């Protein structure tokens, strides 16, 4: 059965809107764990638009489950990861102008493949398992395997945004095919981005997915019902 890692970035987004002390993503992470979250995910962006260094360090010290650090493949982030020692790192692309991550890493040989290979090696030598956030593409899965990643997180945003049943079925098949290949290559398989309390059901039916990383929809639901209830409901849906 797949596990759930709760992303608390958008708790920090609300806090940073007023540069205030609350709501505190550290407290949200602890409450999510008490509600049954199997892990906590934070994305420390280069522009620090939501999660701050303080949040990362406190969550590392207080979390009782697994900490997944999402980050860009930069020298600054490498130093932070090797200092903090999260339970895993997920490498993601970053653009300053984007509202949220718009797609997977460019992992083929014509893009950032060689750079990523060296970066992944540095993290693994530091004792940190590494996933790559990729589009649901067989080529991207194969490239991630060649690079030496321990696993992949399949980007489900295109599936989530598909407007018609036919388009959504096509995107779901792409996700499914990528998951199956990664599983055959003995890679850890995570999935996330754009998943909510309605569209999660079809993806959760893919038995080979090890973990879901979900944040925005849980934080949004928590405004109405509280974070404990929001996490518990999502756990039930993926279970």
Tens digits of per-residue pLDDT, 28-87? Answer: 999 999 999 999 999 999 999 999 999 999 999 999 999 999 999 999 999 999 999 999
Share of the chain above pLDDT 90, in %: 88
Q: Above 90 in pLDDT, residue 96? A: no
Distances (CA, A) of 64 to 32, 36, 58, 230: 11, 11, 12, 19
- Phi/psi region, residue 80 (left: phi>0; alpha: psi -120 to 50; beta: rest), is alpha
Q: Is the peptide bond before 23 cis (omega within 30 degrees of 0)?
A: yes
The DSSP bridge pattern shows strands 88-91 and 130-134 to be: parallel
By the 8 A CB rule, do 116 and 105 touch? Answer: yes
Q: How far apart are CA 86 and CA 89, in angstroms?
A: 7
Phi, psi of 231 (to 5 degrees): -65, -45
Instruction: Tell me the pLDDT band of 239, cut-offs 50, 70 and 90.
Output: confident
Q: Above 80 in pLDDT, residue 100? A: no
Q: Cite the active site residues.
A: 43, 70, 193
At residue 66, the 3 state secondary structure works out as strand
Domain 3-238, CATH class in plain words: alpha beta
Share of the chain above pLDDT 70, in %: 95
- pTM comes to 0.94
| Cα-to-chain-centroid distance, residue 89 | 9
When pLDDT is averaged across residues 93-122 and rounded to a whole number, the result is: 76
Instruction: Tell me the pLDDT band of 176, cut-offs 50, 70 and 90.
Output: very high
Predicted pLDDT of residue 97: 58
């Amino acid at each position: 059965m797949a596990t759930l890692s709760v992303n608390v970035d958008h708790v920090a987004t609300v806090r940073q809107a007023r540069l205030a002390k609350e709501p505190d993503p550290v407290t949200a992470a602890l409450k999510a764990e008490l509600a049954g979250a199997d892990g906590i995910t934070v994305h420390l962006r280069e522009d620090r638009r939501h999660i701050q260094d303080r949040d990362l360090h406190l969550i590392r010290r207080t979390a009782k489950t697994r900490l997944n650090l999402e980050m860009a493949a930069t020298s600054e982030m490498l130093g932070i990861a090797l200092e903090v020692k999260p339970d895993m790192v997920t490498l993601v692309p970053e653009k300053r102008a984007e509202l949220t991550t718009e797609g997977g890493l460019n992992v083929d040989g014509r893009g950032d493949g060689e750079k990523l290979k060296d970066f992944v090696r540095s993290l693994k030598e530091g004792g940190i398992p590494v996933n790559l956030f990729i589009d649901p593409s067989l080529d991207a899965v194969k490239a991630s395997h060649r690079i030496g990643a321990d696993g992949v997180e399949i980007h489900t945003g295109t599936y989530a945004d598909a407007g018609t049943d036919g388009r959504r079925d096509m995107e779901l098949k792409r996700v499914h095919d990528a998951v199956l290949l990664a599983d055959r290559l003995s890679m850890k398989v995570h999935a996330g981005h754009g998943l909510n309390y309605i569209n999660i059901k079809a993806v959760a039916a893919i038995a080979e997915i090890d973990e879901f990383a979900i944040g925005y929809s849980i934080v949004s639901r928590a405004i109405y019902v509280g974070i404990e209830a929001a996490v518990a409901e999502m756990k039930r849906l993926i279970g």
